[in-house]
Structure 1
Amino acid sequence: MHNKLRIIGGQWRSRVIAFDDAPGLRPTPNRVRETLFNWLQTDIPGSRCLDCFAGSGALGFEAASRGAKSVIQIEQNPIICRQLKASATALGATQIKLVQADAFRYLTETLETFDIVFIDPPFGQGLALQACHWLEDKGLLNPDAKIYLETETELTLNVPNNWQMLKQKTAGDVAYCLFQHLAI
């Protein structure tokens, strides 16, 4: 079954992308995406972005639409990957690179560093905070990198000590935060 979402801003504004149902897949709602990209509006153009748990692709496509230089989308599910690839092809999104892999395997193997990272994994599996610490421990964040974290509201945020919270909001059962990586 295909679901659809609309890109909110940038060169692909109002274009619709489809995504398949999958366990744990929760596309970031329009209202939350609009808030997030308002927070990031001056940081996105020319940035190198990582979408750790791509799912519907909403965050990565939105970043690319708004001028990100490159977006790497990591997704393990092969069915979801096929849909992400189809959406990127339909949009002509040459700045998006799709990697079908476990996010942690990718984080272990990559030598790339990022300006903006989106962390929005399936809830209840401990993946969000684990990803935060792996990004820091593996040195994958550029100075002053921004990290978007979307979690269940009851989760206690235990992020690396050198991450400064810039913004925080909730929408229903979802908490979302924007952090800045401070060089040590």
Structure 2
Amino acid sequence: MRIVAGAHRGTQLADVGTGDAAAHLRPTTDRIRESLFNVLQGGRFGDPINGVHALDLFAGTGALGLEALSRGAAHATFVDNGRVAQKLIRDNIAKLRRQAETRLISADVAQLPEGTPCGLVFLDPPYGQGLGGKALAAANAAGWIAPGALIVWEESSAQIAPPGFLTRDQRRYGDSWITFLEANT
């Protein structure tokens, strides 16, 4: 696993190893991440990355938030309650020397503390467990989602926009679906 483009292009991220089966650690592949960021930077959504604060829910390795930082995001907050994931995220932040522009929160994403509104939100819950909508509602209620924010939701199936959000696009990549939502709160 590596950073695909930007300031840290080609940097190898920490090895996932055996991962954490109990936490359903399933990193987004380089190919999907590259395709996803090509869509984000392709003009369809304006410029959703440059200078933005990003929120990476169910962060796993932190690859999505770190890719955003590499491509120009000003700050990234990572949320994951798994010990293996937290270590991977800390290792990857250190590898890129981005401690000043990052924050790691050890919490269940459904019980987030109050936060700073973010313009870009990555949501990559364990597939098929119905956790994404709950996490999105919790992040919104805790003030993490800015009005007009772009939400990138990776799941095993296309997702329906919950109340307060509009579907902007949906794309399939193998067994994964990416649903792009816009916060209209």
Q: TM-score, normalized by length of structure 2?
A: 0.86
Return the alpha-carbon distance in structure 1 between the equivalents of residues 49 and 31 of structure 2: 18
Q: TM-score, normalized by length of structure 1?
A: 0.87
Q: How does 1:23-172 map to 2 (within 5 A)?
A: 23=21, 24-41=24-41, 42-93=47-98, 94-106=100-112, 109-153=113-157, 157-172=159-174
1:112 Cα deviation (Å)? 1.7
Q: How does 1:6-25 map to 2 (within 5 A)?
A: 6-20=2-16, 21-23=19-21, 24-25=24-25
Which structure: greater strand fraction?
1
Return the alpha-carbon distance in structure 2 between the equivalents of residues 110 and 138 of structure 1: 5
Return the alpha-carbon distance in structure 2 between the equivalents of residues 81 and 179 of structure 1: 26
Structure 2: unaligned runs, 5 residues or longer:
42-46
Amino acid at match of 2:115: L
Residues 165 and 183 in structure 2, CA contact (< 8 A), matched pair in contact too: yes
Runs of 4+ in 1 over 6 A off after TM superposition: none
Query: Cα RMSD between the aligned structures?
Result: 1.7
State the aligned residue count: 175
Equivalent position SS for 1:111: coil
Structure 1: unaligned runs, 5 residues or longer:
none
Residues 47 and 116 in structure 1, CA contact (< 8 A), matched pair in contact too: yes
Equivalent position SS for 1:6: coil
Q: Deviations over 1:141-182 (max 9, x none)?
A: 2121000001112x6x34323422222111222111111112
Amino acid at match of 1:82: K
Return the alpha-carbon distance in structure 1 between the equivalents of residues 9 and 31 of structure 2: 15
Of the candidates 177, 181, 184, which is equivalent to residue 179 of structure 1?
181
Equivalent position SS for 2:78: strand
Return the alpha-carbon distance in structure 2 between the equivalents of residues 130 and 166 of structure 1: 20
Residues 19 and 80 in structure 1, CA contact (< 8 A), matched pair in contact too: no
Equivalent position SS for 1:143: strand
Amino acid at match of 2:35: T
Cα 1:121/1:19, change in 2 over 3 Å: farther
Cα 1:31/1:89, change in 2 over 3 Å: same
Cα 1:86/1:138, change in 2 over 3 Å: closer
1:26 Cα deviation (Å)? 1.4
